[in-house]
Homo-oligomer: A and B are copies of this chain.
Amino acid sequence: MAATLESLESCLERHIPPEDLAEVKRILYGGEARKLNLPSAAWSAAQEGDFELQGYGFEAAPEQLRRPRIVRVGLVQNKIPLPTDTPVAVQVAALHRRIEEIVAVAAMCGVNIVCFQEAWTMPFAFCTREKLPWTEFAESAEDGPTTKFCQELAKKYNLVVVSPILERDEVHGGILWNTAVVISNSGAVLGKSRKNHIPRVGDFNESTYYMEGNTGHPVFQTQFGAIAVNICYGRHHPLNWLMFSMNGAEIIFNPSATIGTLSESLWPIEARNAAIANHCFTCPINRVGTEYYKNAFTSGDGGKAHHELGHFYGSSYVAAPDGSRTPGLSRTRDGLLVAEMDLNLCRQVGDKWNFKMTGRYDMYAEKLAEAIQPYFMPSIIKE
């Protein structure tokens, strides 16, 4: 898939005259997002570091009894900086350096919570179905080198870090998981959240490497709000978003790795729908670039063996509970998206639309329990 458009939004901006553009943005995005006034040092550092920087803000109405709860989140998307056949430790070190550079800018922008892309310390090598060297990228969630690296960042910049890695679980036979480690701004590891739904689609052969997560739907009560992490393919499962929300999440991150031919037209829909349906903010993040592998592999589509998975199209964005959203980051460049939000908006929108109140979850709990029975009789009416 050629990466011809820099981003959908820049294309719309370029071609649609101002009088129509406002209406197009209202219908497509719920309005024009407010641009944040970010420090000039941040803009120049981003330019120097050759990554995109964008900042947008969401508003909420003032309340009498609660003060605004303003939070800034940072979404980081990036290419792998080195070829996939570089030694593992060198690749990881290069990724640490790249992320350090971007997080420094996030800190300049006053970011309180930063989230990286899925399996950020490695190429997304599951397309190969090979074990070595890829499984060597797995680390302990509790005290692996990447967690230690993130703890330093968290303390240095006083921010919460969401760090999605390939986890090696030594306590349980050394198996692998796809896991997000959540690190408090104090530097302490708050906990981890494992990927609940594992894809078997296209070249995403992840079920060969790890199983469905067993950490449930934890919500992390940080100093800056209650957050949760729905990893990648869990984005397609509305119940996964729902349970994070039931546990009180106000911001749900969705670190992902997905390619153009597979999912690009689904990307703007699913996380945004989840923000609407659950009265919360959602933050889908996708990596960018094309990753090449030395050994050719086939893709289960009858095509010839080849060396690359396809184009990761970036386009990370933030969606708000009222259905509005930021533009997406670039489809081709590394980037940092800073979004400022007043978390009071979640309850305000909930009180307006009432989806939780009108959700009839008692009925669905019962119906779902019936529907999973092997001899379930669907409710079908025939003439």
Which positions in A face B, CB cutoff 8 Å?
A: 4-5, 8, 11-12, 15-17, 20, 23-24, 26-31, 182, 184, 186, 188, 190-191, 196-202, 212, 216-222, 226, 233, 236-239, 242-243, 246-248, 263-266, 268-270, 272-273, 276-277, 323-324, 352-355, 357-362, 364-369, 371-372, 378-383
Contact = CB atoms under 8 A, between A and B. Distances in A.
A350 to B, nearest CB: 11
Contacts of A221: 380-383
A247 B378 contact: yes
B378 A265 contact: no
B238 A239 contact: yes
Given A15-B20, A272-B269, A367 B243 contact: yes
Contact of A364 (B12, B243, B382): B243
A226 B379 CA distance: 11
A365 B362 contact: no
B220 A358 contact: no
6 contacts: A198-B358, A238-B273, A246-B378, A270-B276, A362-B372, A369-B369
B371 A361 contact: yes
Contact of A5 (B20, B239, B360): B20
A184 to B, nearest CB: 5
A1 B379 CA distance: 41
A246 B226 CA distance: 32
Copies assembled:
2
B15 A17 contact: yes
Nearest to A261: B26
Given A273-B273, A323-B265, A360-B212, A371 B31 contact: no
B276 A201 contact: no
Given A11-B24, A269-B273, A372-B365, A353 B30 contact: no
Given A199-B354, A270-B276, A365-B372, 20 more contacts: A11-B24, A15-B15, A27-B264, A190-B383, A200-B358, A201-B352, A218-B379, A219-B380, A219-B381, A221-B381, A237-B277, A237-B358, A237-B360, A238-B273, A239-B359, A239-B360, A239-B361, A246-B367, A246-B371, A270-B273
A302 to B, nearest CB: 12
Contacts of A246: 367-368, 371, 378
B383 A186 contact: yes
